[in-house]
Amino acid sequence: MYCSKCGKAVDESGEFCKHCGARLAGDTLEAAPKLTVEHAEAVPTYETPNMIPLDMIERNERMVFETHPSKMEAFFKYIAGGILLIAGGITLMVVLGWNIFGGVLIGAGVIIGLIGFIKWRSVIYALTTHRIIVLSGILSKHLYENRLDRVQDIRMDISVRQRIFKYGDISVTTAGTGGIEHIWKNIPEPRKRQKQLRTLVAG
């Protein structure tokens, strides 16, 4: 529940807001949290989602960003291997005349590359003024969401390869859990995204 005066999370059983002292009565507890002017300027938002289904967005909730994981991670795991298989298949067909074996390698390379592309496209990371969101899955969909008022600690990890190609992992510790939860893995621009999340949580 949230205070309608300051927009911060409050205890449902309390009579007054612990942040601003406003009396909590009636629809006061039902008001959605709002960004202060300071945080609204620091974290630009937009209304209509581009990747997340519109029916998933709550009333008065605004988008901060939506993105897929880094393309480079999909390249290293799948697409590069697919390219090597295709190149090997073409070599067998042209140089040795092994058309069948070459065709098999080319087909396998195309399939592996396509799998990597589909897996990359099937994961969406998003941040709103209310929630952290991870939507994944190709045919069946899996949703992870965590309200910002439950976030306690934020952690960012960037390996050498991730640093070179400007992506990384952001994890959080939330109220009611005993450890770190991996939220956004291989997310582009991790420093920018971590700063946006930290600003909203602090607000």
Is 5 inside any structural domain? no
The pLDDT tens digits for 46-91 are 999 999 999 888 888 999 999 999 988 888 888 788 888 889 889 8
| Long-range contacts formed by 151-159: CB under 8 A, 24+ apart | 151/197, 151/201, 153/180, 154/194, 154/197, 154/198, 154/201, 155/180, 156/190, 156/191, 156/194, 158/190
Full domain range(s) for residue 113 = 72-119
Is 155 inside any structural domain? yes
Is 141 inside any structural domain? yes
* Chain mean pLDDT for the chain: 82
Domain boundary at 86, 119, 152, which?
A: 119
Backbone angles phi, psi at 164, to 5 degrees: -60, -40
Whether this model's pTM surpasses 0.75 = no
Is pLDDT larger for residue 29 or for residue 200? 200
